[in-house]
Amino acid sequence: MTGIILMAIGVSFCIVIFGIPILRHALISKGVYDTPNARSSHSLPTPRGGGIVVMTSIIIGIATLWWGDVVLPKGLIIALAISCGLAFISWMDDLWSISALVRLICQAMAIGGILYLDPALAIDTLPFLPEWSAFLIIAAAWVWCVNLYNFMDGIDGMTSVETVSICAGLSLLALTGILSDDILPPLAVVGVAALAFLYWNWSPAKIFLGDVGSIPLGFLLGWFILKAINDGAWLAALIIPGCYLADTTITLARRAIRGAPVWQAHREHFYQKPITYGIAHQRIMLRIILTNLVLIMTAVWLVSINAWLGIAVAVITICALLWNLSQLRS
């Protein structure tokens, strides 16, 4: 069984490492670029669509696990199938810019569909609420997770690092017995795919993930986080992606308060502000990596010792990062 898991991880890694250059050449030949504009954090046209290979590697990696009779979490195959549908819609958006409303409707339908097929995802997460209200709250939170993953995919290495961090954090929760260990193999496949993509996406990025990658990854990671919450690790599961949650929520709340359209592209995220002062992407990413390491350690070890202390450390760590990014000038 261990051999099958290692094979699945290796296949996922190799598909991304060797597949990205092939895809990149095809994207360049077809002129599929992310062209810099006033709201961009980049200065050079860069091919986008790397998520095609990343999602392919995840599908094949998890299919390898299934083929090898590795026990997978209940509902994973459904979640993976729906993520493929979201990847297709998102690729259409990468090519032809589908309206925000259409994208939102597609995401809501996808999430509503999986909650209908697996209502325990909502009911077990909020067992103290009526089923209909638990359904609506979880659906809204999941749609938010999908979109914040897209909003935060704005500088080199960002989404790859966050995906690896979330997968690593949830894996450690499983290894310490807090989560069911059947979540480990698929998390390893997703995390390794993101790690391989980081090689090509680290600054200066050779290729961008595109919505075809960020949207389905946000959906899948939202599913993994819900499974962790279902296992009782709700606080740890929310602390691990705390950096993403805080930056996006605070930024868009500010825009909403002053009446700016929250769905419109902008450069107001905390992680984007230093770019306007010429700060290198790597310097921002190293700060985020350090923050994520602290959040992972807090979620895995400190929360089990003292939940309130874990919350305090997580909040202080996230606030320190956001303040540092807002003050970073040179």
Count CB-CB contacts under 10 A for residue 18: 11
Give pLDDT, residue 33.
83
Residues 6+ apart with CB under 8 A from 130: none
111 lies in some domain: yes
- pLDDT tens digits in sequence order for the chain, 330 residues long: 688 999 999 999 999 999 999 999 999 998 888 776 656 667 678 899 999 999 999 999 999 999 998 999 999 999 999 999 999 999 999 898 888 899 999 999 999 999 999 999 999 999 989 999 999 999 999 999 999 998 888 899 999 999 999 999 999 999 999 999 999 999 999 999 999 999 999 989 999 999 999 999 999 999 999 999 999 899 999 999 999 999 999 998 888 888 877 777 777 889 988 988 889 999 999 999 999 999 999 999 999 999 999 999 999 999 999 999 999 886
Length of the chain, in residues: 330
The number of folded domains in the chain is 1
**Can you read off the two tokens belonging to residue 179?**
């989560």
Give pLDDT, residue 260.
79
Residue 105 structural domain: 2-232
188: enclosing H helix or E strand: helix 184-201
78 lies in some domain: yes
227 lies in some domain: yes
239 lies in some domain: no
**Can you read off the two tokens belonging to residue 268?**
């107001």
Give pLDDT, residue 43.
66
Put simply, whether the predicted model's pTM sits higher than 0.85 gets the answer yes
45 lies in some domain: yes
Answer for the pair 165, 237: CB distance below 8 angstroms, yes or no.
no
84 lies in some domain: yes
27 lies in some domain: yes
